[in-house]
A and B are shown apart, each in its own frame.
Chain A
C-alpha cells in the first residue's frame, strides 16, 4: 500500500492526538462511606446483616466494585492492614460476606446502600473475626508515559465477635511518665496496653493520682479505643496541674471484657527546684542582712560602752583632782 506524504503526516498527527487523549483525565476521586467501623456479635450459624452507604461526592459518574477483604492490626495505632484469606488465620471473616451489589454505579453526588449479609459458619471459632468492605473505582486511570496509575479505595471495617468460649486477657505492657522529676505540670503519661484475648477489647482506662498523704488529687480518663487481638495500643493522658511538691503516685486501671481489670502504678516527683532555689537564696540574703544589722548594732553598743568607760574614767580623774 502506498501512502502519500501528506496522509502520513495526518496519520501521525491523529496518533499524536490519540496519545494525548489517553493522558490522564481531569478527575478527582471523591468517595464517602458510612459507617466507617461496625462491631457485630453473633453465634455460630447466625446470619447477620448490615447496610453500608457509599456516596460519590465527585462531579462525575463512577462505577465501583465492592469486595470483602480480611484485615489485621499490627501497629500500636490501630492501622488496619489488608491481608489475604490465607494469612488471616483464626481472624478470617471475608468468606462469610455476601454483598447484594458487588458492583454499583453512582452518578455525581449520588448515594447508594449495599447490604452485607454475613453468614457465620456453624464451626466458626469463638472470638474476633475481621474484614472490611472496600470500594474502588472499576475504571482505572490511564497513562501514556512513565508514572503511576492511582486507585482510591475506601472501606468500612467490621469487627465480628463470635460467641462461645472466648479467652479474655490483657496487660499493661508499659506505663510511664514523661519525666520522673518535673519542675511544673502538666504531667504527661503514656500507657501501652496489650490485648491477649481471642477478640478485640475496648478498655475503659483511667489514671488516678494520689499525693504523699494518700489524698486523691485527680482522675484522668483515657481514650476508649479498640485493641486488636495480640496487638497493643498506646494511650496518652495529661495531668493539667501547674504546681506541685513532693512524690506522687499514679495508678492506671483498665477494665475490659466481662468485668476484668488490670492495673499498674508508678511514682513521680514534682519539684519546682528553681523556685525553691530562689526562695532559699532570698532567705539566705535576708539572713545575711539580719546578721549584718545585728552585728552592726552589737558593735555600736560596744562603742557606747567604751565611751561610758572613758567618761567614767574622766569623772574618776576629776574626782581625784578635787580631793
Chain B
C-alpha cells in the first residue's frame, strides 16, 4: 500500500509537470563577432580661433573639450581626411599634421569657419559584418543586431561620446543559407517602436523564411551611407582601444527572443606612421679588380682596352703598363653615382699636374681642358680621359670609337666637367672613364704618374 502511494505521487507529479511545462531556456548563439570595415573612431572637435583664421590653411583644435566635442588632439586625424568644418558644412582635405593641436587643410579656411567652437567632424561609418552560429532551429523568425547608443543624442548626425549615432534607413542584409532566406532588413533608433529593451541600443532587424537550422553560420551586414556613425568618446587614450558591447538575438515568428548572445566591438585611433628619407648622393669607383666590364680586352665606347703586361685598374688607380710607340694604351674605370636629390648630380675631375716622371711629362691631349678632341694619332705624344655613359654629353665628348671619341687632359686649376645631370633623382647610372695614352719617339723612358680626383656632388 505504501509503495502504491509513493508511485501514485510520482505519476501525479509527472502528469502535473506535463500539464504546466516551464518555458524553454534560451541558448547562446556562438562564434559571434562583429567585423568593422574600419576600427577608427570618429572625429568631433571644435575650432580654436587663436590658430585658425579665414584665408589660412592652418586649423587649431580647441582644448579642453567644448561640450562633447572630444577630439582635442590630432592623434585621430590623418593626412587625406576630408573634414567638415563650421556650421555651414564646408569640406576641407587635411594636408599636413603640424603638431598635436594644429593641422593644415585645403582649401583655405572660409570666413564662416574660423569662429570659436565651430565644429570639426569626420563621420566614420564603418560597415558591421556580424557573424555567428545559431543554437536552435527557429522557423520563420528574425535576427536582431543591437548596437550601443548615446543616452541623450542617439540620432542627431553628430559623432557621440557614448555610442553609435543612428541614421535612418540603413542597409541591413542577411546572407541566405540553408534554412534561412532573408528579406531586406530595417533599423530602429534606440527608444523607437519595438527597440526599447534593453535601453540605449539601436536595433537592426532582418527577418527570414525557412525552417532555420542548428549550427548554421549566419552573416548579417549593416552598411552603406546610412550605417551608424562611430563614436567619438571622451575618455580616449591614444593607441588604447575603446570597447562597446553589442547584442545579437534570434527571435521566433512571434517576436520572442529565443537565443541571444553578447559581443564587444573595439575602436581605436589610427596609427600614424611617419618616415623621413634623407637626401643622399653616393659615388662608387671601380676598376678591373672589382668590376667585370672594365677589364683588359673589354670594349668601352667601341674602343678595346689594352691587354699589355701590368695594365689593369682598381677603384683607386689605373695602370697603363708599358706605353707603346706603335699602339695606344687604354684602360678604364667605372664611376657610378646615384642621388635622390631633385637637382641631380655633377661629376668633375681635377688633377695634381700632368702625367709625369720628374720633370718629363706626357702632354695632355687638350690643355686647358676646355674642348675635348679626338686622340687617335699613334706616335704623337698625348694623354687624356674620355667619359661615356647615359648622362654624358656626346656632343662634347663624342661617341662611337677611336675616330669619334674625344679625350681631354685634366688640370690642377681648371676643373673638367665630365657629367652634369640636373634633371632630378637618378638611380646609379654608370659613367665609364677611358684613359688613353700615346707616346712619341722622343718621350723619355720611365714610369709616369699623376693623381686625378673625381668629385661627385649635387648640382647647385
Interface residues of A (CB under 8 A from B): 23-37, 53, 55, 57-58, 71, 73, 75, 77-82, 130, 132, 134, 136-137, 140-157, 159, 200, 225-226, 228
Q: Which of B350, B437, B447 contacts A82 (CB 8 A)?
A: B350
Q: Give Cα A159 to B291, complex, Å.
A: 36
Set B280, B319, B415: member contacting A144, Cβ < 8 A: B319
Which DSSP category, helix, strand, loop or mixed, fits chain A's interface? strand
User: Number of contacting residues on B, CB 8 A?
Assistant: 58
Q: Which residues in B have some Cβ–Cβ distance to A below 8 Å?
A: 278-287, 289-291, 310, 312-323, 331, 333, 335, 339, 341, 343, 345-346, 348, 350-351, 355, 415, 417, 420, 422, 435, 437, 447-460
6 A-B pairs with C-beta separation under 8 A:
A24-B289, A26-B314, A27-B315, A29-B285, A140-B451, A141-B317
Q: CB within 8 A of B289: which of A27, A156, A159, A225? A: A27
Contact (Cβ within 8 A) A148 B460: no
Residues of chain B within 8 A of A34, CB atoms compared: 278-281
A77 to B417, CA, bound (A): 11
With CB as the reference atom, state the residue of chain B lying closest to A19: B310
CB pair B456 A226 closer than 8 Å: no
A296 to chain B, nearest CB (A): 63
A60 to chain B, nearest CB (A): 10
What residues of A have a CB within 8 angstroms of the CB of B341 in the complex? 35-37
Evaluate contact between A24 and B316: CB separation under 8 angstroms.
Answer: yes
Complexed CA–CA distance, A83 and B319 (Å): 29
Partner of B283, one of A53, A152, A225: A152
Q: Are A146 and B320 in contact (CB under 8 A)?
A: yes
Interface pair A30/B450, CB less than 8 Å apart: no
Among candidates B279, B316, B322, B323, residue contacting A140 with C-beta atoms closer than 8 Å: B316
Complex Cα–Cα for A81 and B420 (A): 12
> What is the bound-complex CA distance between A317 and B72, given in angstroms?
118
Q: B residues within 8 A CB of A73?
A: 460
Contact A78 B343 (CB under 8 A): yes
Instruction: Verify A150–B350 contact, CB threshold 8 A.
Output: no
Residues of B within 8 A of A58 (CB): 284
A residues near B282, Cβ cutoff 8 Å = 30-33, 55, 57, 154
Q: Is the CB of B456 within 8 A of A153?
A: yes
- Known A-B contacts A27-B316, A77-B422; the reply to A146 vs B355 at CB < 8 A is yes
Asked if A33 and B280 make an inter-chain contact with CB atoms under 8 angstroms apart, the answer reads: yes
> Judging by beta carbons under 8 Å apart, are A37 and B316 in contact?
no
Complex Cα spacing A25 to B323, Å: 21
Q: List, in ascending order, chain B residues with CB within 8 A of A71's CB.
A: 460
B346–A78 touching, CB < 8 Å: yes
Q: Which of A24, A36, A156, A157 contacts B317 (CB 8 A)?
A: A24
* A28–B422 touching, CB < 8 Å: no
Task: Tell me whether B454 and A143 are in contact (CB under 8 A).
Answer: no
Interface-centre pick from A57, A82, A149, A159 (highest chain B CB count, 10 A): A149
- B316 A146 Cβ-Cβ under 8 A: no
Name the CB-closest residue of A to B278: A34
| Contact among A57, A159, A225 with B422 in the assembled complex (CB-CB below 8 Å) | A225
Among residues of A, the one whose C-beta sits closest to the C-beta of B341 is A36
Closest to B291 in A: A28
Residues of A contacting B291 with CB < 8 Å? 28
Given the complex, which residues of A lie within 8 Å of B280, measured CB to CB? 32-36
Closest approach, in angstroms, between the C-beta of B105 and any C-beta of chain A? 23
Out of B279, B317, B455, B460, name the residue touching A226 (CB < 8 Å). Answer: B460
